[in-house]
């Protein structure tokens, strides 16, 4: 009687599923195969109700089970591809023939030849094992869709694992255990919601059965498992209290459901993670005293600053102290490169770290995740979609990577390391560092905006000053005209005089252009961007504008390609850099210009090197590219290096500097060739 109730309830459940499938308007192969599989399972379950169809015979049992497995195997064969449009395309595949041959033989062979019961039981065991193997193939090839296929795998896996044990036991004892047969209806019924959940999750099936979003996104299997164990405990207490013993059917039923729920919990990373977070949130004290931590962060970010570099340092200090890390580096994303803007402790950004960051830029932009590099080495599957060579990650000295976002784009990263105990990146630390990174990013962006406003104000003042400079420029032009008029009388003098005249003519032409642009308040459009051979422009600048000061720059070309630039603007940038190099170098020193290609980065490089006095790191970081900051007194405006760096950035390239005090400097201009 108890078996009839189980099979009857299961038949009712599958009938309900059939009605839901019939109400779906979308057509397609998946819908028809689901209807077929559900209809067969409904008929299979109903056929085992002895009240309706009489006692169950062994041939009926084996043939019904084999036919049901045949239909579900056909359904699984259709799930191995997403582009099936007809049943014939499924059946015409060789792999489908391999899949369907065992169940067909199991059905046909006993009708043609005498088959011993133990052999028939063995065939049924092989069919169950085939389903389990096919499920493993399906789950492995699902890739990023594993979350969607997991309920289907659990549903069919649990059912056919139960069938496997049933027929394996029957093969050993040469008879089917009645307890197993009686419990099957309840097992199928309990697992039916997983099939409905799979139908909802797997989008390419084309089946649209409505289920609450909370049910789909927030699986309640862990809660169900807890409730189930509580029911078992209460039932056991009741049996002990009232006397008696467990029946074999009930024992098998509870055992099968326990294995299924345990498997669901073990297979589901999300269930385990949610359980850990729930327990940590509600049963343990917080790891941080947030009032103290927030005051500490606020003090770090409100420290006095003299420039944008101090802002970056304060931001890095605040991020490090948030998790008690003593070492760190802050980098800013500039195009496809990263630029170090702050450093704390003994941290050093290596070439391997830059490789890691180039992979993290697109990954963090889409996921907004914090990265635990040590966790990635051990469990890379926790960061699905991130593909970094783990040997490169192993060479990094950093532990945590905290991204900073400007709206939806990556502004930069903080890379943190510690020589002491490292923080465990659990849910609380992740939430806390997300809040810290948002606060730090806001602080940085506000400071950068204030810096931009201040620079704009300086340029506005420079524009106002230009009106007063015009008068002085006209006086200089008058003097040059006078020199030229007097020089015309000395045409027969040595070639040095001719060179001087040529230089003066060029100077006059340049001043005419400056006056015209200042008066018209617009740049002459003659110098638009076009493909240029840089060595030609550099040679012209050296010959026409750098011969009067020693040492004269020497040009060497290793390898070059044409670059899209404004010829006049590039010439001015090169002249400023060469002039600065000449002024910083003794007459017996060297100033060289070398052109070469960086094939790995696909860039044209222009390296300007000198053997001059050099610069220290503090000067490079704080003063070199700061507009209107000059070491030449009234002889310079302090915008040459700043203008060069801004121009390179406008081209999508960059200007880098390497220098040592007393040994010289090297300015490298990187032009993209894309």
Q: What is the dihedral of CA 294, 299, 301, 307, to 10 degrees?
A: 180
How far apart, in whole angstroms, are the C-alpha atoms of residue 558 and residue 597?
8
* C-beta separation of 576 from 611 below 8 A: no
The CATH classification of domain 290-452, taken from the options 3.40.50.720, 3.40.50.11750, 3.40.50.2020, 3.30.450.40: 3.30.450.40
Q: Is the pLDDT at 641 greater than 90, yes or no? A: no
- The 10 Å Cβ neighbour count of residue 244 is 9
- The 10 Å Cβ neighbour count of residue 383 is 17
Q: Dihedral sign for Cα 498, 499, 501, 502, please.
A: positive
Q: Is 551 helix (H, G, I), strand (E, B) or coil?
A: coil
* C-beta separation of 134 from 152 below 8 A: no
Q: Dihedral sign for Cα 254, 220, 198, 42, please.
A: positive
pLDDT higher for 505 or 417?
417
DSSP 8-class letter at 424: P
How far apart, in whole angstroms, are the C-alpha atoms of residue 507 and residue 544?
10
What is the pLDDT confidence band of residue 516, given thresholds at 50, 70 and 90? low
Q: Dihedral sign for Cα 318, 324, 326, 332, please.
A: negative
* C-beta separation of 591 from 549 below 8 A: no
Q: What is the pLDDT of residues 9-20, one digit of tens each?
A: 988 988 888 887
Closest alpha carbon to 544 in 520, 523, 514, 575:
575
Q: Which DSSP string corresponds to 450-486?
A: HHHHHHHHHHHHHHHHHHHHHHHHHHHHHHHHHHHHH
Give the rounded percent of residues in the chain with a pLDDT score beyond 90: 14
Structure tokens, 584 = 């910083």
How far apart, in whole angstroms, are the C-alpha atoms of residue 164 and residue 158?
10
Query: Which of the residue ranges 42-56, 226-240, 516-530, 559-573 would you say has the lowest mean pLDDT?
Result: 226-240
How far apart, in whole angstroms, are the C-alpha atoms of residue 100 and residue 345?
66
Mean pLDDT of the residues in the chain: 77
Q: Is the pLDDT at 284 greater than 50, yes or no? A: no
Give the rounded percent of residues in the chain with a pLDDT score beyond 70: 72
Count CA atoms closer than 13 A to 599's CA, side-chain side. Answer: 2
Q: Which DSSP string corresponds to 227-273?
A: HHHHHHHHHHHHHHHH-----HHHHHHHHHHHHHHHHHHHH-HHHHH
Max intra-chain CA distance, the chain: 133
Structure tokens, 664 = 């010289």
pLDDT score for 222 = 39
What is the pLDDT confidence band of residue 624, given thresholds at 50, 70 and 90? confident
pLDDT higher for 81 or 197?
197
- H helix or E strand, kind and range, residue 12: helix 2-22
What is the pLDDT confidence band of residue 420, given thresholds at 50, 70 and 90? confident
Q: Which DSSP string corresponds to 160-182?
A: HHHHHHHHHHHHHHTS--HHHHH
What is the fold of 530-672? Heat Shock Protein 90 (3.30.565)
pLDDT score for 218 = 34
Q: Is the pLDDT at 461 greater than 70, yes or no? A: no
pLDDT score for 572 = 82
Which range, 451-465, 523-537, 586-600, 615-629, is most confident?
Answer: 586-600
Which range, 217-221, 493-497, 545-549, is most confident?
Answer: 545-549
* C-beta separation of 355 from 401 below 8 A: no
pLDDT score for 195 = 84
How far apart, in whole angstroms, are the C-alpha atoms of residue 126 and residue 139?
20
Structure tokens, 378 = 């051990």
């Amino acid at each position: 009687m108890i078996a009839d109730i189980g099979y009857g309830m299961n038949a009712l459940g599958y009938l309900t599923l059939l009605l839901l499938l019939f109400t779906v308007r979308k057509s397609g192969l998946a819908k028809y195969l689901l209807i077929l599989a559900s209809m067969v399972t409904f008929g299979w379950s109903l056929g085992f109700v002895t009240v309706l169809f009489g006692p169950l015979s062994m041939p009926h049992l084996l043939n019904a089970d084999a036919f049901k497995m045949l239909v579900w195997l056909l359904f699984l064969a259709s799930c191995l591809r997403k582009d099936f449009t007809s049943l014939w395309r499924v059946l015409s595949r060789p792999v489908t023939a391999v899949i369907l041959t065992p169940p067909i033989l199991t059905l046909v062979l006993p009708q043609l030849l005498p088959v011993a019961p133990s052999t028939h039981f063995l065939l049924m065991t092989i069919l169950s094992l085939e389903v389990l193997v096919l499920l493993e193939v399906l789950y492995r090839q699902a890739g990023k869709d594993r979350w969607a296929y997991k309920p289907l795998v659990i549903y069919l896996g649990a059912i056919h694992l139960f069938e496997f044990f049933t027929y394996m036991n029957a093969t050993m004892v040469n008879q089917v255990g009645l307890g197993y047969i009686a419990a099957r209806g309840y097992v199928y019924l309990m697992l039916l919601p997983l099939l409905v959940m799979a139908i909802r999750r797997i989008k390419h099936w084309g089946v649209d059965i409505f289920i609450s979003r909370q049910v789909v996104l927030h699986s309640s299997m862990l809660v169900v498992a807890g409730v189930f164990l509580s029911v078992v405990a209460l039932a056991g207490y009741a049996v002990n209290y009232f006397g008696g013993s467990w029946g074999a059917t009930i024992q098998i039923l509870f055992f099968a459901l326990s294995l299924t729920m345990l498997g669901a919990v073990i297979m589901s990373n999300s269930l385990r993670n949610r359980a850990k977070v729930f327990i940590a949130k509600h049963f343990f004290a917080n790891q941080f005293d947030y009032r103290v931590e927030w005051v500490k962060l606020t003090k770090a970010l409100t420290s006095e600053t003299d420039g944008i570099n101090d802002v970056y340092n304060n931001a890095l200090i605040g991020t490090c102290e948030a998790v008690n890390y003593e070492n760190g580096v802050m980098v800013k994303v500039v195009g496809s490169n990263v630029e170090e803007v702050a450093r704390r402790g003994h941290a050093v950004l290596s070439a391997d770290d830059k490789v890691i960051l180039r992979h993290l830029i697109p990954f963090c932009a889409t996921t907004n995740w914090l990265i635990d590099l040590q966790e990635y080495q051990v469990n890379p599957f926790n960061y699905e979609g991130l593909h970094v060579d783990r040997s490169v990650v192993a060479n990094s000295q950093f532990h945590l990577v905290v991204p900073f976002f400007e709206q939806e784009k990556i502004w930069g990263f903080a890379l943190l390391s510690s020589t002491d105990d490292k923080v465990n990146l659990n849910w609380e630390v992740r939430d806390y560092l997300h809040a810290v990174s948002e606060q730090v990013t806001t602080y940085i962006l506000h400071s950068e905006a204030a810096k931009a406003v201040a620079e704009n104000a300086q340029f506005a003042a420079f524009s106002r000053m230009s009106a007063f400079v015009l008068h002085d420029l006209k006086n200089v032009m008058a003097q040059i005209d006078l020199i030229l008029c007097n020089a015309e009388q000395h045409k027969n003098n040595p070639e040095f005089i001719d060179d001087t005249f040529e230089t003066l003519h060029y100077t006059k032409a340049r001043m005419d252009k400056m006056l015209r642009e200042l008066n018209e308040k617009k740049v002459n459009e003659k110098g638009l961007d076009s493909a240029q051979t840089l060595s030609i422009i550099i040679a012209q600048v050296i010959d026409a504008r750098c011969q009067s000061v020693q040492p004269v720059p020497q040009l060497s070309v290793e390898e070059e390609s044409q670059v899209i630039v404004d010829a006049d603007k590039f010439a001015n940038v090169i002249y400023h850099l060469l002039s600065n190099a000449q002024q910083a170098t003794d007459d017996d020193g060297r100033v060289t210009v070398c052109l070469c290609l960086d094939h790995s980065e696909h860039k044209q490089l222009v390296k300007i090197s000198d053997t001059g006095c050099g610069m220290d790191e503090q000067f490079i970081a704080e003063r070199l590219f700061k507009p209107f900051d000059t070491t030449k007194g009234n002889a310079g405006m302090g915008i040459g290096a700043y203008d060069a760096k801004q121009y390179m950035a406008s081209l999508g390239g960059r200007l880098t500097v390497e220098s040592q005090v007393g040994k010289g400097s090297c300015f490298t201009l990187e032009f993209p060739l894309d």
